[in-house]
Homo-oligomer: A and B are copies of this chain.
Amino acid sequence: MEQLTIKSSTNKYPIFVGTKLRFKTQALIGKEYNNIMIITDSSVESLYLQDVVNSFSEDIKISYAVVAAGESSKDISNYYDLMTAAIKNGLDRHSLIIALGGGMVGDLAGFVAATYMRGIDFIQMPTTILAHDSSVGGKVAINHPEGKNLIGNFYPPQAVIYDVETLHSLSDKEIRSGYAEVIKHGLISDQLFFDQVRSFDITTKIKDEDLTEHILKGIAVKAKIVELDEKESNQRKYLNLGHTLGHALESELGYGQITHGEAVAIGMLFALQVSENIYNSPLPYKELYEWLDRNKYPFQLPSLSVETLLGRMKKDKKSRDLTVQMVLLKGVGQPTIETLDDELLSKYLDDFLRELGKS
């Protein structure tokens, strides 16, 4: 088992990454709770819920709540039902909520914990690769029909317990989705990490040691940035590389049609192309494109209106005064933030989508 510590503005919390950790949950938590509610989704429930429940001694009151798998569960209605469940289960200010699942569960359960009786402890137990990103840094939220994560808090967990064994039940699509964020952490931090991930074939089974290493390195990149700028006034924005177009694609195509990571992968390619144009410096567009292609990331999108996508990019909550801000790269490990003019952005986007469609 490997361990990292994250410093947030309100606490310090450990991240444990390794195998079989779900069987040692109580021991890893290292604090006693009178009452624990586990929140999970319908896919994870049958796979890992019982293992986590069994890791606790019998004198601890444990309840659980299950939401349907899928991003659409991250809504106000599930949020409110979980609040009601927490009340019915008798949780008080000294109780604990465990988020067992992917990013959706982490965000939803985290927001429940952040606002139940004005905030109770919670622990993230990610079961996807993608969640190596969302489980660290304290962002919790639910979606609004008008946009993702529009309702939420900054609320760090008490610990992140990452059992990499749970990643073997992921579909190919989910593995691709997760590795897009891993490679993003490479692109914004250093060439070595980027090259290391790029050398991997993620279409065949990845060994636990490699999963542990990639996740740890990804988390370390994120942690370093989040510690500098928890509330996203500055450097934390770098983590949004690929996300401005990525989020627009996700909401335009409808959540579920394309995974978050697949959309971000396309967004990163776009960011690299814009960066090359603006900074006139060579960037690994081709290398990234080839790796994504080799690993079966989807590039064939239905025909999309540039104008509509641009409208969606402007609604992104990172945007200010309805102009689009994008994370670009001057080089690998050298992220920057640029505000882009609508006309220029439209042209770049039009060119990019046309070229991507041809591939």
Contacts and interface: CB of A to CB of B under 8 A. Distances in A.
* Most chain B beta-carbon neighbours within 10 Å: one of A118, A144, A150: A118
A140 to B, nearest CB: 8
Interface residues of A, number: 36
A151 to B, nearest CB: 5
Nearest to A10: B9
B322 A147 contact: no
A271 B261 CA distance: 57
B320 A119 contact: no
A115 B152 contact: yes
A237 to B, nearest CB: 11
Most chain B CB inside 10 Å of its own CB: which residue of A34, A115, A139, A319: A115
A319 B9 CA distance: 28
A147 B147 CA distance: 30
B153 A92 contact: no
A311 to B, nearest CB: 13
Interface in A229-262: 231
Contacts of A151: 83, 115-116
Contacts of A150: 83, 87, 116-117
Contacts of A94: 320
A38 B112 CA distance: 26
B320 A144 contact: no
A115 B115 contact: yes
A116 B322 CA distance: 17
A12 interface: no
Contact of A115 (B92, B139, B153, B322): B153
Nearest to A115: B151
A343 interface: no
A296 interface: no
Nearest to A90: B322
Interface in A109-124: 114-119
Number of copies: 2
Nearest to A111: B115
Given A320-B93, A322-B90, A153 B83 contact: no
Contacts of A317: 92-93, 117
A114 to B, nearest CB: 7
Most chain B CB within a 10 A radius of its CB, from A76, A92, A154 = A92
A146 B320 contact: no
A295 B83 CA distance: 40
B153 A139 contact: no
Interface in A27-43: 34
A156 to B, nearest CB: 13
A34 B319 CA distance: 13
A64 B154 CA distance: 26
B115 A321 contact: no
A155 to B, nearest CB: 9
A34 B76 CA distance: 28
A141 interface: yes
Given A90-B322, A93-B317, 6 more contacts: A92-B319, A94-B320, A115-B115, A116-B151, A117-B150, A117-B317
What 10 pairs between A and B have smallest CB-CB spacing? A117-B317, A87-B146, A118-B152, A115-B151, A76-B80, A118-B154, A118-B153, A83-B151, A92-B320, A115-B153
7 contacts: A87-B146, A92-B317, A92-B319, A115-B153, A117-B152, A118-B139, A119-B154
